[in-house]
Structure 1
Amino acid sequence: MSAISGINTGYVAPTTSSSPDDVSMGKEDFLKLLVAQLENQDPMNPSDPTEFTAQLAQFSQLEQLTNMNESLEGMTAMSNEMERMSALGLIGQDVVAQSNSFRFSGDPVELGYRLELPADDVKLHVLSQTGSTLATITPSETEMGDHFISWDGTSDFGMPLEAGDYQLVVRALDKDDKVVSSQSLLKGRVMGVDMSNGSQLETSAGIFSMSKVERAGALL
């Protein structure tokens, strides 16, 4: 995945297109049919006023739904644009993402964990993509909260692992060997933004969506 100046050039602005198979009726079509009905009615046998009133009510409801859909589409587009701007503003900053997948490039990576309660024993397991345990790390911090440890890529056999994608699994137990709720965290510096599929942050610890990012910059 290539990027120039931190922005993936594969991004293409969304466009709208109409299809010949699209036979949905809009409010203008509805209004034309209503006017045509009035123009072609039998003067000696005009349309039932009650039915005409019901048709006008249907038109009003259709117009309200159309306006609501347009407003929602506008809000969605604005929200997406704000997310893209926020993502671009993170380039060069450190971020914390809640994820159990990360990328090891050969340089030390910041592996993290969140404990919902104090624990007695915590272990971080680095797994291959097939689920095999490659490295087991025993951090010293066991208090409730977020903690990070720098891992240099050394396996349990004392050999450096190859650069690639790995998984992080946290297992925490209390003094009674009961499982303590925990989450995997990753810390990395944002180097670019991929906009080809939403706003994906390209960091030194892997690629994360904006929804996975919890903290950034001075908050770290």
Structure 2
Amino acid sequence: MSVNLQALDKLGLSAATKATTTTDTSKSSQMGQDMFLKLMMTQLEKQNPLKPQDSSEFLSQLAQFTMVTGIQELKNSFSSVASTMSEGQALQAASLVGKRVMVESNQGVLGATGGLSGALSLDANSSNVTVQVLNAGGATVRTLELGDRKQGNVPFTWDGMLDDGVTAANPGTYTLKAEAVVEGETVALAPHVAAPVQSVTLGGSQGIEVDLGVLGRHKLADILEVLN
């Protein structure tokens, strides 16, 4: 809480103010609530009764101090709310460990016993929606033909089989390339991929983050959907 000392000059408190700072010239030119009230009372006690201080100046300074006090109290309240929200986010993030979440990524992991799932977000009705699965060498090993789709969320799943429908792909990390035809033009889409949360990092430089293994770390706000 602080009020600029220069504003007290008009109340006849400049002398008292200077007396408090002569022993330490490096002190701030701001004062706290207790000092302000003490100087205010001193000024009232010592003013000339035949020539009292202008009440308008007194009320103006008092209003200024009240406003500063209110702003500081409001700031403290917001700080308390922010701290509570941060703690709530931490608990929420910790509860995600072991669950599968959806984040935006052009990579997906094919497990030894399961497929790879994700979704696309279409801003408009589209035709010939496809998702290509590329191996580490950049070769397409599977093309998922999703056909005509309406605006909105479009889920997709790769069962791990190659284009021949017989051979199973090796487990590992694959790149996803999604496209759709919108009003006659082919546009690229950003895939959303599902992955399990392996751990949660709290208090880092990026805030709360979830570790999705091969897909890396993502902010809590990057999670688009919690699947299970």
TM-score, scaled to structure 2: 0.63
Higher relative contact order (CA 8 A, sep 6+): 1
Residue 220 of structure 2 corresponds to residue 213 of structure 1: no
Q: Distance in 2 between matches of 1:38 and 1:64?
A: 21
The gaps in structure 2 that reach 5 residues or longer are 1-25, 163-168
Identity of aligned residues (%): 18
Cα 1:211/1:55, change in 2 over 3 Å = same
The gaps in structure 1 that reach 5 residues or longer are 1-20
Q: Distance in 2 between matches of 1:69 and 1:24?
A: 21
RMSD: 3.9
Residue 208 of structure 2 corresponds to residue 199 of structure 1: yes
Map Cα deviations across residues 118-145 of structure 1 (whole Å, 9 max, x no partner).
42223446799xxxx9255532224232
Q: Distance in 2 between matches of 1:58 and 1:127?
A: 66
Residue in 2 that maps onto 1:170: 178
- For residue 146 of structure 1, report the CA deviation from its aligned partner: 2.3
- Aligned AA (1:35): K
The count of corresponding residues between Structure 1 and Structure 2 is 185
Residue in 2 that maps onto 1:43: 47
Residue in 1 that maps onto 2:191: 184
- For residue 96 of structure 1, report the CA deviation from its aligned partner: 1.2
Relative to total residues, which structure has the larger strand share, 1 or 2? 2
Q: Distance in 1 between matches of 2:29 and 2:186?
A: 55
Q: Distance in 2 between matches of 1:64 and 1:117?
A: 50
TM-score, scaled to structure 1: 0.65
SS in 2 for 1:47: coil
- Aligned AA (2:145): S
Residue in 2 that maps onto 1:3: none
Residue in 1 that maps onto 2:102: 96
User: Which of 140, 143, 149 pairs up with 1:138?
Assistant: 143
Q: Distance in 2 between matches of 1:65 and 1:185?
A: 44
Residue in 1 that maps onto 2:21: none
- Aligned AA (1:199): I
Relative to total residues, which structure has the larger helix share, 1 or 2? 2
